[in-house]
Structure 1
Amino acid sequence: MERFERDGLVFDVRDGGPPDGEPVVLLHGWPQDSSAYDRMAPLLHGAGLRTLAPDQRGYSPGARPPGRSPYRLREVADDVVALLDAAGLGSAHVVGHDWGGIVAWALGAWYPERLRTLTALSVPHPGAMARAVLTSDQGLRSAYVAAFQVPALPERLLLAGNGRALRQLLASSGLPDDAAERYVAHMLEPGALSAALAWYRALPFGARDRVGTVTVPTLHVWSTGDVALGRTATEATRDHVTAPYRLEVLDRVPHWIPEVAAERTAELVVAHTRTAA
């Protein structure tokens, strides 16, 4: 499977591993793409799992609708349901990092029948996150979200000098240089960064997209070196899951868990998928 369509949008997909293996959907965040899982995916394949890693809405060149509202959480979550339908899958394991983790939380609350297990890398449950913004240093950590709401200026600043500022931002947060170069090159494509930032800019349209209680087996992986996401929301996340839940903390690992801690994360995901057998 190389692509799928939804409402006239065309999404690119990396489909790997044994075709008859347990399916695992891998969802990337900002400003990544499906290559975020290049180190993890072969390890999952070696364990007999099939992986489907889409370039999500705004990241696939054929799926960059204009405006902000097309990037509401409900829309990007429904893109994953469309992927499952196109692949002929009634359900799958879902792993999401960063924004992909938020999508995974939404799927676990809205479409539990389509998930065998849920793995959220880095990001806590949105309900826990919202509370932590008001009660901890999470508000300061998340200040960039407000900055991204400004039209056009973030693109101008981040892409100046062939993406120099974006490259420096990613490197300073612990992303390996090769991955930073890859993601910056992708964001330099016409319209790509604006489409990626539209996920943030759509937040004011998401009042009805509340993510409730998750009822599927959940693994939450958080790292102490994450400058964007603190411990308060991480520890409160268990209150938003009624199914079996496990928190795994990676010491001194930065935000970029799939790229930096691929081996350990793959081990955790493989073990988690087997709990649903």
Structure 2
Amino acid sequence: MERCQNDGLTFDVHDGGPSDGEPVVLLHGFPQDASAFDRMAPLLHAAGLRTLALDQRGYSPGARPPGRSAYRLRAVTGDVLALLDAAGLERAHVVGHDWGGAVAWALGAWHPDRVRTLTSLSTPHPAAVGRAVLTSDQGLRSSYMALFQLPVLPERLLLAGDGRALRGVLENGGLPPDVVERYVSRMREPGALSSALAWYRAVPLAARDTVGEVTVPTLHVWSTGDTFLGRAATERTRDHVTGPYRLEVLEDVPHWIPELAAERTADMVAAHVRGAS
């Protein structure tokens, strides 16, 4: 597969590995794209798995609708269901990082019949994050999200001086220079950053899209070097999973787990998939 469609939008799909392998959907976050899994995917292929990495809504050039309501969690999870349908897959293993992790949690709660296993990299269960915002330092860690919900200003700040601020955030997070330049270049495409930020601007609409308990086998991978998502929400995530659950902690790894801990993460995902077979 190279593309799929949903809601009149066209999404880029990176399909790799053995065609008869267990299918694993890979969902990136902000401000990445499917290339976030460029190091992980070949390792999953070597383990006999097929990967379908989706350039999500707002990131695929053919899928940048206007307005924040188009980026509600119900809408973006629908894109993944459309991917599964287009691939002829009844179910798949779902791996998500950052915002992709939020999508993975929603899929596991709302569509357990389509999710074989769930793996969330960095991102705790949304309900656990909401609770931690009120009771821990998570509110401070998430304060940038309030800025991102403002109109126009975030684009000007992040892209000023050829993307100096955005580049600095990614570099300080330990991403390699070539990866930083790829993400910054992508966000400088016309309309790209505004579409990516629409995920944040849709947050006030989240009350309509409550994510409940997850029953599918779940792996949560969190890293102690994550400046955006803290331990409190991570530890509360177990309370929102009624199926088999395992937490793995990566010491001293920054937020960007798919790029910076690809080998260890691929091993954990492959073992998680095998354990559900």
Q: TM-score, normalised by structure 2?
A: 0.99
- In the alignment, the residues of structure 2 paired with residue 68 and residue 135 of structure 1 have an alpha-carbon distance, to the nearest angstrom, of 28
Structure 1 residue runs without a partner (length 5+): none
Runs (4+) off by over 4 Å: none
Q: Give how far 1:204 is off.
A: 1.0
Establish whether residue 173 from structure 1 lines up as the match of residue 173 from structure 2. yes
Partner SS for 2:132: helix
Partner residue of 1:151?
A: 151
- In the alignment, the residues of structure 1 paired with residue 7 and residue 145 of structure 2 have an alpha-carbon distance, to the nearest angstrom, of 28
Establish whether residue 20 from structure 1 lines up as the match of residue 14 from structure 2. no
- In the alignment, the residues of structure 2 paired with residue 178 and residue 261 of structure 1 have an alpha-carbon distance, to the nearest angstrom, of 16
Partner residue of 2:38?
A: 38
- In the alignment, the residues of structure 2 paired with residue 205 and residue 251 of structure 1 have an alpha-carbon distance, to the nearest angstrom, of 34
Partner residue of 1:57?
A: 57
Q: Give how far 1:175 is off.
A: 2.1
- In the alignment, the residues of structure 1 paired with residue 149 and residue 91 of structure 2 have an alpha-carbon distance, to the nearest angstrom, of 35
Structure 2 residue runs without a partner (length 5+): none
Q: Give how far 1:177 is off.
A: 1.8
Deviation by residue 1:182-225 (Cα, 9 ceiling, x = unmatched)? 10000000000000000000011221100000000000000000
Establish whether residue 88 from structure 1 lines up as the match of residue 92 from structure 2. no
Partner SS for 1:180: helix
Establish whether residue 2 from structure 1 lines up as the match of residue 13 from structure 2. no
- In the alignment, the residues of structure 2 paired with residue 54 and residue 149 of structure 1 have an alpha-carbon distance, to the nearest angstrom, of 24
Partner residue of 1:122?
A: 122
Q: What's the % identity of the aligned pairs? A: 77
Within 5 Å, which residues of 2 pair with 1:1-277? 1-277=1-277
Q: Give how far 1:165 is off.
A: 1.0
Of residues 163-172 and 23-32 in structure 1, the stretch that sits farther from structure 2 once superposed is 163-172
Please tell me the residue identity of whatever aligns with 1:236: R
Deviation by residue 1:69-119 (Cα, 9 ceiling, x = unmatched)? 000011001100000000000000000000000000000000001011000
Q: Give how far 1:7 is off.
A: 1.6
- In the alignment, the residues of structure 1 paired with residue 123 and residue 206 of structure 2 have an alpha-carbon distance, to the nearest angstrom, of 18
Deviation by residue 1:20-71 (Cα, 9 ceiling, x = unmatched)? 1000000000000000000000000001000000100000000000011000
Partner SS for 1:207: helix
